[in-house]
Amino acid sequence: MDLYNFDDEDPIFLAQVQKGVTNFVKILTGKDIPVQYATSGDSMTDGETVYIAANLKEDTIDYIVGLALHEASHVLLTDFGYLNKEKGTVLKRVHNIPEEDHDNVFTLINFVEDKRIDNFVYSTAPGYQPYYEELYRKSFYSEIIDENLKNDVFRSPSWDAYFFRIINIFNRNSDLDALPGLQEVRDLLTYNRINTLESTRDSVKVAVNIYDIIKEHIDEEEEKEDGEDKKMDNQEYKTRDQVDRQKSFINSQYRKKRVHKKVKEQVNKLADKSTQIKNYEINKNSSIPMIITNDWKEYFTSPFDHYNDAVENGFALGKKLLKKLKVRNNIKKDIFENQKKGKLNSKKLFQALYNENLFYRIEKEDFKNVFLHISLDLSGSMRGGKLEKTIQTSIAIAYAACNLQNFDVEISLRGTIDKNKSKTDQTPILAYAFNSKKHSIKKLKDFKKITISGMTPEGICLDEIRKTLPKPTYSQEVYLLNISDGLPNISSMAYNFSTAVNHATKVIREYKKDNINVLSYFVHDVWDKSEKSKDTFGKIYGKNAKYIDINNMSLVADSINKLLLSNTIKVFWYFYICKLEKIINMEHGDIIIYIEDLIEAIEFEELGILEIKSKLQDLVINIEDNTNIDNEGLEGFDFD
């Protein structure tokens, strides 16, 4: 959050502040207390929610945080049920307070309760003291108050005079001789006395004691004169105005800048726990806010199920893909008997006196784990047939993944939103829509209402995806499948045209450094004759760029099939390489070079998986039969 560029009309900025204040509140209270912007002029906590003002400026942010922490402490510590003024039972029934004095006594109660909870914050969270100091500086301290505490203003016993003197009793200019009983009141409000208050009921008792002290001194005639239109000089008027503001604060009647209900809904959506707002750094000199969320329906759905057929076709295509990949669900185990080491074969114990080969070992041929992330471009140009085919293909792959062992798929959507409806300041949004580890296949049916949104923040979103992908290991390969139709670009001075293209190219290089394989499919229309987009796409993705006709998107599914079969062979290679190393004195790298031709044969579909596996098995058997073979002897071995 950039606190040097305040814009309290910007929903994203408002949401960032709301999330930040919410975190402060949670740290202080240890509870998930909701924080929201006020939608009415005077707002106070209702005992469940903290309301903050929208007048966010550089000189008000600390005050707003302090006020939120103050209200949150009330939510945590104040017994609102006991203080329910509307029931009118506590003061009347328990303390015999006349009804005409209830309002004044409740102000005293709130004053004492404020001191109790403020003491809690100061003693338990000293790091938040600067926010409280700013809160009280803006709410209580003024030159008018300081000056009039020292002069003859408010020295006749009346409610207004007592409130002026008691509310400001901690001011360094306070005069405890200004009114009768002030010293007694001060004695009730020492640090040690406040520190002993453990509940709202204790605060009520202290407030009632204060009432009892000052009530006997109240000049009824003075009260009657104050109740009339008593003429006041300018100094008295300003002082009374300041005291009224202080009383409003004590009674939680804060004047807060409100936001429109529609803006509040938008802010609450952005501030939700499932959504993250962060400033993405384009370079050292510029950054751009972006939204990362799991609540994809808020940004990428329409009321209509235009793509219901695409979803159904996707399931049908997924079943076909599953049949091609069902071999991945089979794990073969080879048992090697008559070994000198391994697990003991109990059936051969009777041979122990004359046979040392009583052991066996089990070797398992398995498939590598695959994590495939599919990133879908949902910019405006993807509408219509292109989006339909893209939905169909992504669902097909996800369906197959959900029915295969060791194959997980994640789907994300990317686009932009126009936060101010200006069409000149687009905010990138990355939404995670599906994860086969978390969601059932039924979740994919929600894709029937997917819709487009904005422009193409390709590099920004792909970089954020990269940061959350699992790390590739020997037992797991990680892939990114990107499906898009255009150039990276958004309506932002920090990220458009060549800047966006160069940044996306850099991000793809980072994928390769992380050993994450990238497949990228350029989806185009038959009527699209432009070569610029295609050339730029090739620049970004290099040899990983594939150009797919939207009328034949099943090519994507076929390439996934080839990818997984090729991936499977890598497991077999490693399995047999390990055997070769044990049998002959040969370097690991030499064996890899030797079977390089097999790799190419797989890639160009010259050999199937069963053929290559058979040839590797034959290779090992031949080597086992000839233990005297040297490194160069392998060169004459003919696979054909």
pLDDT at 588 > cutoff 60: no
CA distances from 247 to 60, 179, 323 (A): 20, 19, 75
pLDDT at 48 over 50: yes
pLDDT over threshold 90, residue 446: yes
Instruction: For residue 231, name the pLDDT band (cuts at 50, 70, 90).
Output: low
What CATH homologous superfamily does 287-328+367-551 map to? von Willebrand factor, type A domain (3.40.50.410)
pLDDT band at 206 (very low <50, low <70, confident <90, very high): very high
Angle between helices 385-402 and 554-583 (to 10 degrees): 40
Q: What is the pLDDT of residues 493-540, one digit of tens each?
A: 778 888 888 999 999 999 989 989 888 888 776 545 556 677 778 888
Q: Is the model's pLDDT at 53 over the cut of 60?
A: yes
Residue 86 has pLDDT above 50, yes or no: no
pLDDT tens digits, 125-150: 888 888 888 888 888 888 888 888 88
Please report the pLDDT score of residue 413 as a whole number: 97
Stretch 469-485: mean pLDDT: 87
pLDDT of residue 120: 86
Q: How many CB atoms lie within 10 A of CB 540?
A: 27
Among 339-343, 527-531, 542-546, whose mean pLDDT is lowest? 527-531
Give me the mean pLDDT over the 555-562 stretch: 63
User: How far, rounded to the nearest angstrom, does the alpha carbon of residue 618 sit from its chain's CA centroid?
Assistant: 53
Q: How many CA atoms lie within 13 A of 11 on its CB side?
A: 23
Alpha helices in 100-190 (DSSP H): 102-124, 129-139, 143-150, 159-167, 182-188
Give the mean model confidence (pLDDT) for residues 332-348.
67
Residue 550 has pLDDT above 60, yes or no: no
Instruction: Give the pLDDT confidence score for residue 294 in this predicted structure.
Output: 93
Query: Which of the residue ranges 54-63, 365-374, 484-493, 512-521 has the most confident prediction, judged by mean pLDDT?
Result: 512-521
CA distance 245 to 42: 12
The partner residues of 484 in beta bridges, in order of sequence, read 522
Model pLDDT, residue 519: 83
Write down the mean pLDDT value for the chain.
Answer: 78
What pLDDT does 270 receive? Answer: 82
Local confidence band at 601 (pLDDT 50, 70, 90 cut-offs): low
Among 176-190, 422-436, 602-616, which is the least confidently predicted range? 602-616
Residue 608 pLDDT greater than 60, yes or no: no
Residue 466: count of CB within 10 angstroms of its CB? 19
Per DSSP (E only), the strands in 153-269 are: 254-255
Report the 10 Å Cβ neighbour count for 293.
Answer: 22
- Of residues 114 and 329, the one with the higher pLDDT is 114
188-198, pLDDT tens digit by residue? 999 999 999 99
pLDDT interval class at 632 (50, 70, 90): very low
What is the structure's pLDDT at 410? 96
Task: For residue 412, give the nearest of 429, 426, 400 by alpha carbon.
Answer: 429
Phi-psi region of 252 (alpha: psi -120 to 50; beta: other; left: phi over 0): left
